[in-house]
């Protein structure tokens, strides 16, 4: 039996923790969320030696154990609570060679908690050209911990790190800064009362619990009461925390004076020159716009072929199964419910994988932090951050990978606002709806030989989506109150060539997470919609029997050349979904819609583009994709009881605005539920956007009519 060790990787953001985690665990890791919270949890298994294995937990990047974000709260709750199942036997603290002074602040806090620590100094392959020299032996002696120099990029120092773990499974844990050294802190604390109430606790742990109001679940009710009373006796806690910071940095500076030297004259640094261009107040925005244009042009160009191929393969597979399986409800469930449901999951994989690939490239090179810095000032006015730009723009391809890409936003409030407004941006699924409605109601005219009216309307719908996203974010920024004032802190890491293995790990993890987690919800709702569309009452059963026994239906049902499609349209009309469409007709009639449009609205919750296909079935015109003109002409000829056209200019504009604002995508709702870990926010999104779409469509239709 191999001995197992619990190891936590800790450190500031952008120090290479994830790269080290990937090197230690390879593909033997799983990704999920911490219980009750949406911050990502990575855990994997590593072989340290022949007789020692380790469970590696990658803690979220943090700057301090005085938490101000969800990420830092997780590190706080794990490292202070010895009863927490993730409490480590050992912490590997990953620091960056160039920013060692700042990185050592959190290290010193963890060390003073009495947890065994190894200091792994990463990016040692760069120190020579930065003019940096580090005396590892002296640093280890002064910090009272094993110190190892590593480079996750060059894969050096990893074996030495494993040897240190294997031969030092139990470390001495003397604190770096004795509480006695913090005279400026301890003189303000009721030490006797603290020692009496918590005799068995580490002194620094008690101070961390006192210094802020984070809930400490592992204390008994008596201990919580004592903690509350002691905290009330201490005046000006915030100033005492500031004094601790000064004391710690003073101690760190003393350590580094004899072990860490920087001589910039010996360095050959291009970073400053690159930053002058990439975060320039004018050139920076031009370059960023160009990069986004390249990404999303590639996103459409690279994914259309594989997505079409997946769609064809699933359609062919469904048809093949339908031919070899005996007729019956089970076969219908497989071919019309489960296979289309799985297809609705798998078809998004190319877009998700390509988008995550580009995001990972930008992060690995160090450019993403520059883009965030550049855009943050603009986005913060709307309650978002610079990191919200990429998700919002990627929403023009598909809202699902866009929502997934918000995982890069650390602040939960900013991430939530971004997630909630992403569906307003015009995704590719809206294009079939927009195209057929614009072709129906907007004349095909051009001005000056350049400006096509239909094209301008389409562009206007895209702009309208972005405008509504920002207006909604502005409203949410007022509603979702901040718990405390936000301070913008961004790490500008070194530029570097991307590590292929890190990019591929990221693509694999996040794509797999979508398929396994959101896919379950998408599949379930797809099957429910299939059931509603393929089942009905007595009339439905009668028409179904007639369709099976005859190639024709009576003329009153509008016989067309394609009898199968005619049968399908009549069956859909009398299905539970059709009955539901007729039942909501009084509600949607003020918007200019009849029950047929109502069925299309309901069925397009599976995917917006289903709107056109549903109308093609109802109007008995065959395959919508191959009969665009036929569908349009049939819609143009559709009349109301009074002889007026159903798809008038007023109705067309009303529908365009409804689809511009409504949440007509169960896949997006599923992924929002997955990312927010609650049904609360997707339901708010669903009813909020649908109500807005209804009101705007109602007002516009009534005015134009």
Residue 117: what pLDDT? 92
| Whether residue 88 is found in the same domain as residue 172 | yes
Do 138 and 235 reside in the same domain of the chain?
yes
DSSP state of 327: S
Structure tokens at 43: 């855990």
- Whether 131 maps to a domain, the answer reads yes
What pLDDT is recorded for position 191?
66
**DSSP-assigned letters across all residues of 429-476:** GGHHHHHHHHHHHS---EETTTEEHHHHHHHHHHHHHHHHHHHHHHHH
CA–CA distance, 82 with 62 (Å, rounded to integer): 19
State whether 31 and 169 are in the same domain.
Answer: yes
The CATH code of the domain that includes 212 is 3.40.50.300
Distance CA 110, CA 130 (A): 28
* Residue 692: band (very low, low, confident or very high) from pLDDT cuts 50, 70, 90: very high
> Given the structure tokens 């009955």, which residue do they identify?
579
- Residue 600 counted as domain residue: yes
- Please, what is the Cα angle at 59 between 58 and 65, to 5 degrees? 160
pLDDT tens digits, 565-577? 556 667 777 788 7
Query: Is 369 in the same domain as 393?
Result: yes
**Is residue 461 assigned to a domain?**
no
Among residues 393, 425, 457, the one where a domain terminates is 425
Whether residue 290 sits in one domain with residue 262: no
Is the same domain home to 559 and 640? yes
Q: What is the pLDDT of residue 264?
A: 47
Q: pLDDT: is 567 or 592 the higher one?
A: 592
Rounded mean pLDDT of 293-309? 71
Predicted confidence band at 457 (pLDDT cuts at 50, 70, 90)?
confident
User: 580, exposed or middle or buried, with CB in 10 Å at 0-12, 13-18, 19+?
Assistant: middle
CB count within 10 Å of CB 263 equals 10
Arithmetic mean of pLDDT over the chain: 78
Distance of CA 162 to the CA centre of its chain: 33
Q: Which residues contact 573 (CB under 8 A, 6 or more apart)?
A: 599, 618
Q: Based on the domain organization, do 210 and 315 belong to the same domain?
A: no
Residue 694 has pLDDT above 90, yes or no: yes
Count each helix (H run) and each strand (E run) in the chain, helices first: 33, 11
In the prediction, which pLDDT does 118 show? Answer: 93
Is 349 a member of any domain?
yes
The stretch 22-33 carries a mean pLDDT of 76
CB 562 within 8 A of CB 634: no
Phi first, then psi, for residue 44 (nearest 5°) are -150, 170
Q: Where are the alpha helices (DSSP H) in 258-348?
A: 271-278, 283-324, 329-332, 339-346
Measured distance CA(332)–CA(340) in Å, rounded: 11
Is 222 part of any domain?
yes
The pLDDT of residue 215: 62
> What is the secondary structure of 648-687 as a DSSP string?
-HHHHHHHHHHHHHS---HHHHHHHHHHHTSSHHHHHHHH
- What is residue 621's predicted lDDT score, i.e. its pLDDT? 41
Torsion over CA: 230, 232, 234, 239 (sign) = positive
Q: How far apart are CA 59 and CA 1, in angstroms?
A: 27
The whole-number average pLDDT for the span 585-599 is 88
β-pair type (132-134, 260-262): antiparallel
Among candidate residues 214, 244, 268, the one where a domain is terminated: 268
User: What is residue 146's predicted lDDT score, i.e. its pLDDT?
Assistant: 92
172 located within any domain: yes
148: which residues sit within 8 A by CB, 6+ positions away?
118, 119, 120, 121, 136, 157, 160, 161, 164
State how many domains the chain has.
3
Confidence grade of residue 358 (pLDDT, cut at 50, 70, 90): confident
Residue 56 reports pLDDT greater than 90:
yes
Q: Is residue 680 part of a domain?
A: yes
SS3 43: strand
Looking at residue 515, what is its pLDDT? 73
My answer on whether 580 and 696 are in the same domain is: yes
Q: What is the mean pLDDT of residues 645-665?
A: 90
Question: Stretch 417-431: mean pLDDT, rounded?
Answer: 85
Question: 268: which DSSP letter?
Answer: -
**One domain for residues 294 and 264:** no
Structure tokens, 526 = 């797809």
pLDDT at 302 over 70: yes
| The predicted structure's pLDDT at residue 120 | 94
Answer yes or no: is pLDDT of 290 > 60. yes
Residue 38 pLDDT greater than 90, yes or no: no
> What average pLDDT does this structure show over 240-249?
82
pLDDT digits (tens, 9 = 90+) for 171-225: 666 776 655 555 556 666 676 777 777 777 777 787 788 777 666 667 777 877 8
Contacts of 438 (CB under 8 A, 6+ apart): 454, 457, 458, 656
Q: How confident is the model at residue 363 (pLDDT cuts 50, 70, 90)?
A: confident
DSSP 8-class letter at 494: P
Q: Which of 6-20, 118-132, 411-425, 489-503 has the lowest mean pLDDT?
A: 489-503
Q: What is the pLDDT of residue 591?
A: 92
pLDDT digits (tens, 9 = 90+) for 314-333: 878 888 888 888 877 788 77
CA separation for the pair 545, 539 (Å, rounded): 10
- Could you read off the pLDDT of 92-124 as tens digits, one per residue? 999 988 888 889 999 999 998 888 999 999 988
- pLDDT tier for residue 555 given thresholds of 50, 70 and 90: very low
pLDDT digits (tens, 9 = 90+) for 333-355: 787 777 776 776 677 678 778 87
Our CA angle for 171, 173, 177, nearest 5°, is 150
Q: Model-level pTM?
A: 0.57
**574: closest CA among 546, 603, 536, 532?**
536
Contact 429, 609 (CB under 8 A): yes
Gap between the Cα atoms of 613 and 600, Å rounded: 8
Phi, psi dihedral angles at 545 (to 5 degrees): -65, -40
Closest by alpha carbon to 662, among 611, 703, 590? 611
pLDDT tens, residue by residue, 607-623: 776 776 666 656 644 44
One domain, residues 242 and 295: no
DSSP 84-149: STT--SEEEEEEEGGGHHHHHHHHHHHHHTT--EEEEEE-GGGTTTTTEEE-HHHHHHHHTS-EEE
Judge whether residue 514 has pLDDT over 60. Answer: yes
6 phi and psi angles, rounded to 5 deg: -95, 120
Is 278 inside a domain boundary?
no
The pLDDT value given to residue 186 = 60
User: Of 395, 425, 455, at which residue does a domain stop?
Assistant: 425
For 561, counting Cβ atoms within 10 Å of its Cβ (0-12 exposed, 13-18 middle, 19+ buried), the class is exposed
Q: What is the pLDDT of residue 369?
A: 76
Pair (190, 52) in one structural domain: yes
d(CA 365, CA 496) in angstroms, rounded, equals 5
Site of tokens 């990312």? 675
Query: What per-residue confidence (pLDDT) applies to 553?
Result: 47
Q: Which of 52-61, 392-401, 445-454 bottoms out in mean pLDDT, i.e. has the lowest? A: 445-454
Same domain (yes/no): 250, 349: no
Query: Of 105, 74, 412, 73, which Cα lies nearest the Cα of 212?
Result: 73
The CB-based long-range contact list for 304-311 (8 Å cut-off, 24+ gap) reads 306/350, 307/347, 307/350, 307/351, 310/343, 310/346, 310/347, 310/349, 310/350, 311/343, 311/347
Whether the pLDDT of residue 624 is over 50: the answer is no
Q: For the chain, what percent of residues have pLDDT higher than 90?
A: 16
Q: 684: which residues sit within 8 A by CB, 6+ positions away?
A: 420
Backbone phi, then psi, for 165, in 5-degree steps?
Answer: -65, -45
Q: Which residue has the tokens 């790990």?
A: 505
Q: Which domain holds residue 370?
A: 283-425
Contact in structure between 205 and 193 (CB atoms under 8 Å): no
In the three-class reduction of DSSP (H, G, I as helix; E, B as strand; rest coil), residue 6 is classed as strand
């Amino acid at each position: 039996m191999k001995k197992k060790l619990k190891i936590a990787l800790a450190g500031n953001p952008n120090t290479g923790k994830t790269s080290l985690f990937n090197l230690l665990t390879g593909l033997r890791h799983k990704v999920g969320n911490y219980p009750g919270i949406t911050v990502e949890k990575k855990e994997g298994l590593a072989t340290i030696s022949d007789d020692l294995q380790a469970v590696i937990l990658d803690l979220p990047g943090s700057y301090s154990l005085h938490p101000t974000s969800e990420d830092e709260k997780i590190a706080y709750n794990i490292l202070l609570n010895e009863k927490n199942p993730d409490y480590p036997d050992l912490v590997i603290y990953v620091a960056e060679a160039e920013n060692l002074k700042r990185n050592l602040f959190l290290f010193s806090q963890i060390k003073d908690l009495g947890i065994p620590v190894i200091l792994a100094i990463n990016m040692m392959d760069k120190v020579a050209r930065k003019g940096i020299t580090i005396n590892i032996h002296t640093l280890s002696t002064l910090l009272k911990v094993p110190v190892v120099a590593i480079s996750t990029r060059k894969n050096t120092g990893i074996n030495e790190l494993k040897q240190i773990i294997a031969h030092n499974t139990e470390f001495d844990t003397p604190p770096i800064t004795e509480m006695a050294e913090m005279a400026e802190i301890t003189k303000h604390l009721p030490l006797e009362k603290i020692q009496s109430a918590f005799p068995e606790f580490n002194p620094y742990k008690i101070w961390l619990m006192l210094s802020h109001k984070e809930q400490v679940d592992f204390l008994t009710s008596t201990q919580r009461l004592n903690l509350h009373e002691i905290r009330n006796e201490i005046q000006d806690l915030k100033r005492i925390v500031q004094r601790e910071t000064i004391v710690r940095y003073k101690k760190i500076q003393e350590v580094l004076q004899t072990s860490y030297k920087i001589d910039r004259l010996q360095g050959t640094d291009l970073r400053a020159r690159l930053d002058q261009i990439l975060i320039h107040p004018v050139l920076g925005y031009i370059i960023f716009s160009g990069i986004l244009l390249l990404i999303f042009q590639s996103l459409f160009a690279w994914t259309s072929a594989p997505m079409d191929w997946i769609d064809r393969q699933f359609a062919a597979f469904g048809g093949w199964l339908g031919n070899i399986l005996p007729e019956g409800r089970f076969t219908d469930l497989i071919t019309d419910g489960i296979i289309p449901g799985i297809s609705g999951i798998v078809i998004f994989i190319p877009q998700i994988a390509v988008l995550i690939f580009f995001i990972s490239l930008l992060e690995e090179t160090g450019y993403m932090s520059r883009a965030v810095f550049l855009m943050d000032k603009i986005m913060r006015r709307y309650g978002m951050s610079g990191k919200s730009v990429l998700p919002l723009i990627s929403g023009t391809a598909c809202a699902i990978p866009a929502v997934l890409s918000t995982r890069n936003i650390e602040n939960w409030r900013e991430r939530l606002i971004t997630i909630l407004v992403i569906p307003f941006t015009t995704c590719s699924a809206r294009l079939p709806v927009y195209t057929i409605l614009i072709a129906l109601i907007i004349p095909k005219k051009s001005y000056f030989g350049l400006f096509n009216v239909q094209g301008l309307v389409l562009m206007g719908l895209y702009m309208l989506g972005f405008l509504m996203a920002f207006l909604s974010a502005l409203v949410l920024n007022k509603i979702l109150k901040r718990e405390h004032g936000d301070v913008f802190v961004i790490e500008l890491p070194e530029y570097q060539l991307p590590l292929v293995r890190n990019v591929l790990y990221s693509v694999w993890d996040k794509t797999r997470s979508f398929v396994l987690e959101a896919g379950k919800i998408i599949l379930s709702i797809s099957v429910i919609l299939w059931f509603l569309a393929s089942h009905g009452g007595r009339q439905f059963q009668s028409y179904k029997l007639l369709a099976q026994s005859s190639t024709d239906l009576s003329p009153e049902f509008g016989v067309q050349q394609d009898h199968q499609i005619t049968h399908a349209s009549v069956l859909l009309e009398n299905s539970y979904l059709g009955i539901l469409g007729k039942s909501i007709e009084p509600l949607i009639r003020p918007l200019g819609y009849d029950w047929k449009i109502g069925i299309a609205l309901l069925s397009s919750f599976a995917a917006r583009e289903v709107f056109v296909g549903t109308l093609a079935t109802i109007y008995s015109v065959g395959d919508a994709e191959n009969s665009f003109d036929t569908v349009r002409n049939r819609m143009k000829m559709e009349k109301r009881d009074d002889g007026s056209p159903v798809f008038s200019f007023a109705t067309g504009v009303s529908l365009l605005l409804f689809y511009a604002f409504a949440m007509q995508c169960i896949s997006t709702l599923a992924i929002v539920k997955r990312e927010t870990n609650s049904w609360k926010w997707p339901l708010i999104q669903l009813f909020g956007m649908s109500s807005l779409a209804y009101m705007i469509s109602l007002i516009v239709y009534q005015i134009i009519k």
